[in-house]
Amino acid sequence: MRPSPRLLLSATQQLSGRGFQGPLKVGGYVNGLVIRDNAKRLKVAEAEDRRRALKYITYNTELPLKARLMAQLELTNMHLHTRPTAVRNRCTSAGRSRGVFREFRLCRFQFRQQALAGDIPGVRKASW
């Protein structure tokens, strides 16, 4: 069940074209960090049920202590890319990690440019 440790390697290979791993899955602006983040997201979605079940066992004080400890250990031993906190919202058209509006999935500068160009429906510059 543990994700492959070669995850990162395959992501960088995809970007550089060495060792073809199938078509690139991410569209929009693509760089290594975006691919890495996307790979993390896929792993998180894959391991979500398992993580949730293990978390439930550890949190349940009704269950025997040993089972809870085992579940906790299992949780900590899972690959770090299955952690939902490891994913980071990145700008879909610039790849920036900071100043990203969640609603538009764009960083502040891209948002401004696209909004001024009229590419974002329902958004226009305020003036009063």
Which residues bind to another protein, rule: CB under 8 A?
23-28, 34, 37-38, 41-42, 44-46, 48-49, 52, 55-62, 84, 87, 89-90, 92, 105
Measured from the CB atom, the residue of 66 and 125 that comes closer to another protein is: 66
Instruction: Give the three-class secondary structure for 53.
Output: helix
Q: State the minimum distance, in angstroms, from the CB of residue 38 to another protein.
A: 5
Phi and psi at residue 34, in whole multiples of 5°?
Answer: -65, -45
Angle at 100 between CA 14 and CA 111, to 5 degrees: 100
Q: State the minimum distance, in angstroms, from the CB of residue 86 to another protein.
A: 11
Q: State the minimum distance, in angstroms, from the CB of residue 55 to another protein.
A: 5
Q: From CA 88, how far away is CA 44, in angstroms rounded?
A: 12
Measured from the CB atom, the residue of 45 and 69 that comes closer to another protein is: 45
Q: In 3D, which of 16, 15, 8 has the Cα closest to residue 36?
A: 8
